[in-house]
Amino acid sequence: MIEAVVFDLDGVIVDSEPVWADVRERYTSEVGGTYGETATRDMMGMSSHEWSAYMAEKLGVPGTPAEINAAIVERMLARYGEKPPLIPGAVDAVRRIADRFPLGIASSSNPELIEVVLAASGLSKLFPVRVSSQEVPRGKPAPDVYLEAARRLGVDPAYCGAVEDSHNGIRSAKAAGMRVVAVPNPHFRPDEEALAQADVVLGSVGELSPEIFAA
């Protein structure tokens, strides 16, 4: 029986994947790097340590990973402003699930970006547990961020549900042993192999209900 639900942030609550892609691509071009065709997909789910190292090593972006991370996050915060692009129906869906289960966040975003989105959406109080992959050894598709969220919630991962949108996110939550509800990202749809690992596939986050996890 499910006892808690862990949400991804990017692509589930906030429509940020296109923003991340645009910011990284623009910055790479500005500083003389080369943004490869697979760069966006490659970096989806990576922790900040991993994608900043990827940009330095694979895309030829000058500077240390820490410097690259700081530059990208600064631009992300500027793009978010006071109104991050929340996904229609996401806030109501979160509130429905929170009426039945304790909630956590397991996100590849930096902690400061998580806080901005939760504050802007009015959902901060509903997520007592928030884990950034920056805080664990490995980003998605490794299960680390989901395992840590479950640990902080005090619930065995096998009794946790997860809501994900991306190929690496689905694999991460499944590897943690959770019941995975996939809401495929319309901009960067997960591959069929990843979707096959999900326990439930929805057309939109607005379809999310407590009954899906109680089943």
Q: In which band, very low, low, confident or very high, does the pLDDT at 173 lie, cut at 50, 70 and 90? A: very high
Nearest to 180 by CA among 158, 196, 166, 164: 164
Which domains does the chain show, CATH number per domain?
4-15+84-214 (3.40.50.1000), 17-80 (1.10.150)
The pLDDT tens digits of the residues spanning 60-116 come to: 999 999 999 999 999 999 988 778 999 999 999 999 999 999 999 999 999 999 999
- Annotation marks residue 42 as catalytic: no
What global pTM score does this model have? 0.89
Neighbours of 186 (CB within 10 A): 14
Under a CB-based contact definition with an 8 Å cutoff, are residues 131 and 108 in contact?
Answer: no
Q: Is 143 helix (H, G, I), strand (E, B) or coil?
A: coil
Three-state secondary structure of 11-34: CCCECCHHHHHHHHHHHHHHCCCC
CA-to-CA separations, 38 to 21, 35, 41, 142, 188, in angstroms, rounded: 11, 8, 6, 20, 11
- Annotation marks residue 8 as catalytic: yes
Average pLDDT for the chain: 95
The pLDDT tens digits of the residues spanning 131-144 come to: 999 999 999 999 99
Spatial distance between the Cα atoms of 165 and 107, rounded to a whole number of angstroms: 11
pLDDT of residue 83: 83
Q: In which band, very low, low, confident or very high, does the pLDDT at 186 lie, cut at 50, 70 and 90? A: confident
Considering 10, 15, 144, 165, which one is annotated as catalytic?
10
Under a CB-based contact definition with an 8 Å cutoff, are residues 8 and 104 in contact?
Answer: no
Considering 8, 15, 144, 165, which one is annotated as catalytic?
8
Q: In which band, very low, low, confident or very high, does the pLDDT at 187 lie, cut at 50, 70 and 90? A: confident
